[in-house]
């Protein structure tokens, strides 16, 4: 039997290698996946958020700041058309989140009408923190309480972080979001 050679033009091969390399370029902050709040699927952070401006917020259903869900949803709706994504990560690190994901989902979706991406409860502080929050803490600071907000640009850099006291309609928060939207991928 005679060996057959497949001839592939060099530029096709180089384009395939280049595309593969581009796919593997995920900012450290977006490496990994998290379980979605509703359902059993995993959210691939890089696949879902790479190249997009992003707000990450640690949440808690029974926190006095929970009404910020409404303001965060308003921000998400106002800027989503410009590419903004938002990721809510419930956490019981401050002892104000339910262990039942269904109860958390009810608070987020039924009580506050959240439409942005939410995960199941995760640790967000200290050595137990998930990689996303370890990276956010390294680039900024760890959340000091629930509803700590991080604005991340299209390259995965933290533009700014905001305490729980910062309301979603705060002009500095809005300016950081607009800066992240304006960043080039």
pLDDT in tens, 159-177: 999 999 999 999 999 999 9
Give the residue numbers annotated as catalytic, written as ranges: 63
156 is written with which tokens? Answer: 């995965």
Q: Which of 154, 89, 144 is nearest to 116 (CA)?
A: 89
pLDDT score at 11: 44
Residue 167, both tokens: 């309301």
Give the model's pLDDT for residue 114: 97
Q: How many other CB atoms are there within 10 angstroms of residue 155's CB atom? A: 13
Place of tokens 């680039």: 139
- The Cβ of residue 20 has, within 10 Å, a number of other Cβ atoms equal to 9
CA gyration radius, the chain: 19
**CB-side exposure of 45: number of CA atoms within 13 Å?**
28
pLDDT, tens digit, 9 for 90 and up, residues 99-115: 999 999 999 999 999 99
Q: What angle do CA 172, 90, 142 make, to 5 degrees?
A: 55
Residue numbers in the chain where pLDDT is lower than 50:
8, 10-23
φ/ψ of residue 53, rounded to 5:
-70, 145
């Amino acid at each position: 039997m005679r060996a057959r050679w497949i001839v592939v033009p060099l530029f096709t091969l180089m384009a395939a290698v280049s595309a593969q390399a581009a796919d593997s370029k995920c900012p450290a902050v977006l490496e990994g996946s998290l379980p979605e709040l509703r359902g059993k699927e995993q959210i691939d952070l890089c696949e879902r958020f790479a190249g997009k401006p992003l707000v990450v917020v640690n949440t808690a259903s029974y926190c006095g700041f929970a009404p910020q869900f409404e303001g965060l949803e308003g921000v998400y709706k106002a800027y989503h058309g410009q590419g903004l994504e938002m990721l809510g990560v419930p956490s019981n690190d401050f002892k104000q989140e339910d262990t039942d994901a269904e109860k958390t989902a009810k608070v987020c979706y039924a009580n506050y009408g959240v439409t942005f991406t939410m995960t199941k409860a995760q640790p967000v502080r200290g050595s137990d923190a998930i990689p996303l929050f370890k990276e956010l803490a390294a680039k900024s600071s760890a959340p000091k309480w629930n509803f700590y907000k991080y604005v991340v640009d299209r390259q995965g850099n933290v533009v700014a972080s905001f305490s729980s006291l910062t309301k979603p309609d705060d002009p500095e928060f809005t300016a950081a979001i607009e800066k992240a939207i304006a960043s080039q991928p």
